[in-house]
Amino acid sequence: MPQLVGEIYRTRSRLVFATLIRLLKDFDLAEDAMHDAFKAALEQWGEKGIPSNPLAWLVSTGRFKAIDRIRRESRFDSLEQQQIWQTEATPPDASRLIDKAIEDDMLRLIFTCCHPALSLDARTAMTMREVCDLTTEAIASAFLVTPSTMAQRIVRAKAKIREAKIPFEVPMEHELPDRLGAVLQVIYLVFNEGYYASSGESVTRVDLSSEAIRLGRLLHVLLPDSEVTGLLGLMLLHESRRPARTSSKGNIILLEDQDRSRWDRDMIEEGLTLVERAFLSKPPGPYTLQAAIAALHAEAVRPEATDWAQITRLYSRLLNINPSPIIELNRAIAIAMHKGPEAGLQQIDAILERGDLSDYHLAHSARAELYRKLGRTNQARASWERALALAQQDPERRFIQRKLGELGS
């Protein structure tokens, strides 16, 4: 029984949390109620059996636990009494747990966390914390900031939502375009954390990438903007490679070494269709351009068939509209594949010499690999050692240690 409850918590607790926020209208109260409900499940399901709808049971139990908590902690002033009345008067609706339409509770939660009253960074950080249950350390890694900075950002964002009485709702149709950019950024960062986990024992977190794709599909129904289409295509094309990205022992397999017969062709075909549709709608935005790059990788039947010249051009277009040192790093790698390691190394050296990405392990890994190809073993070893010191993910650390061992031999 603990294993079942743990699995539901791992994969579905955020949905329970989102629905409890709708019912309780308070982030902290909903968080406490969710944990109380899962604790009750551990205590009761083994004795009384698993309910027919576990998620509905968890929501209902959490709601009643919240009412009990308010009563215990209440000093019976008028505001707290009103909160009790409102909570008791809001009936739980189990059907909302599986609603795939616009009113989906998780989508409500994302739009609440992405309200324009919050700064762009705060919106994304808040959503990664509250929607995806990522640790502060993992979110900080995604943002390339310190955990203390991220913790302060999240605390301020929650306070702003509470003080500004930001509603828990999907915006009206005329408001959606102005709110879309932050939501797309959130979904993409959630997907990235699932596709390439910032820390832990596994390369990926399928629950996060699957949730991001689900949210992308919901948003695509809600607002089929070209960038929504491009983002969904991008996520599907990346996700199609998941089966080939790790060995049976959980070790990393680089793109050029993957067994491409294991890529999900149905997912690739859907992704390619979406990318083509996004390009036809209007001039491509950053997600559509990234999706086009992923499409070129997906269409290459062999690594040597990859059109690196076109990928380099697409990265250049992407940099023009969305300057970023990480995009610049990816462009440098494409240049190395197209024009040779020396050309790519010059680009990476320039990025690191500016101080950008100095604490980003993948920049040092890329530099190490180019040094290795150029036969500059000592410099390759130093860069791999720097990457190893910065890497937080166990499979990645094993990969780097293996590369260091190969240099030694």
Residue 59: inside a domain: yes
pLDDT in tens, 111-161: 888 888 888 788 878 888 888 777 888 788 767 688 999 999 999 998 998
CB count within 10 Å of CB 265 equals 11
> Rounded to the nearest 10 degrees, what angle do helices 361-373 and 341-353 cross at?
150
More confident residue, 112 or 200: 112
Of 32-41, 102-111, 228-237, 323-332, where does mean pLDDT reach its minimum?
102-111
Q: Does any domain span residue 378?
A: yes
| The predicted structure's pLDDT at residue 96 | 46
Q: Is residue 102 part of a domain?
A: no
Q: Domain of residue 47: give its range.
A: 1-75
**pLDDT at residue 282 greater than cutoff 80:** no
The mean pLDDT value for 22-47 works out to: 90
DSSP string, 102-167: TT-HHHHHHHHHT-TTS-HHHHHHHHHHHTT---HHHHHHHHTS-HHHHHHHHHHHHHHHHHTT--
Band (pLDDT 50/70/90 cuts) for residue 86 is low
* pLDDT over 60 (residue 100): no
113 is a domain residue: no
User: Which of 2-11, 36-45, 188-197 holds the top average pLDDT?
Assistant: 36-45
DSSP-H helix ranges across 282-307: 286-299
Predicted local confidence at residue 199, as pLDDT: 64
Residue 263 CA from chain centroid, whole number: 21
> How many CA atoms does the CB half-sphere of 353 hold within 13 Å?
6
Last residue of a domain, one of 32, 60, 75: 75
Predicted confidence (pLDDT) at residue 203 exceeds the cutoff of 90 = no
Per-residue confidence (pLDDT) for residue 98, from 0 to 100: 43
For position 353, which CATH number holds?
1.25.40.10
pLDDT at 392: 85
Predicted TM-score (pTM) of this structure: 0.74
DSSP 212-260: HHHHHHHHHHH---HHHHHHHHHHHHHHTTGGGSB-TTS-B--GGGS-G
pLDDT of 253: 92
pLDDT on residue 111:
85
Residue at 227 is within a domain: no
In angstroms and rounded to an integer, the radius of gyration of the C-alpha atoms of the chain is 23
pLDDT > 70? residue 349:
yes
% of the chain residues with pLDDT over 70: 90
What's residue 74's pLDDT?
A: 64
pLDDT interval class at 348 (50, 70, 90)? very high
pLDDT band of residue 94 (cuts 50, 70, 90) is very low
Buried b / exposed e over 173-202, threshold 16 CB at 10 Å, is: eeebeebbebbbbbbbbbbbbbbbbbbeee
Residue 194 predicted with pLDDT over 60: yes
Residue with tokens 């949390």: 17
Residue of higher predicted confidence among 309 and 119: 309
Query: What's residue 409's pLDDT?
Result: 57
Residue 359 maps to a domain? yes
Residues 268-280: tens digit of each pLDDT = 999 999 999 998 8
Mean pLDDT of 254-268: 96
Domain membership of residue 368 (yes or no) is yes
Can you give the pLDDT at residue 315?
A: 98
Which residue, 55, 75, 95, sits at the end of a domain? 75
Residue 276: the pLDDT is: 95
Residue 265 lies in a domain: no
pLDDT per residue as tens digits for the range 395-407: 899 999 999 999 8
pLDDT confidence bin for 52, thresholds 50/70/90: confident
**Which residue, 52, 75, 98, sits at the end of a domain?**
75
191 vs 106, residue with greater confidence: 191
Number of domains comprising the chain? 2
286 pLDDT higher than 90? yes
Residues 6+ apart with CB under 8 A from 102: 170, 218, 221, 222
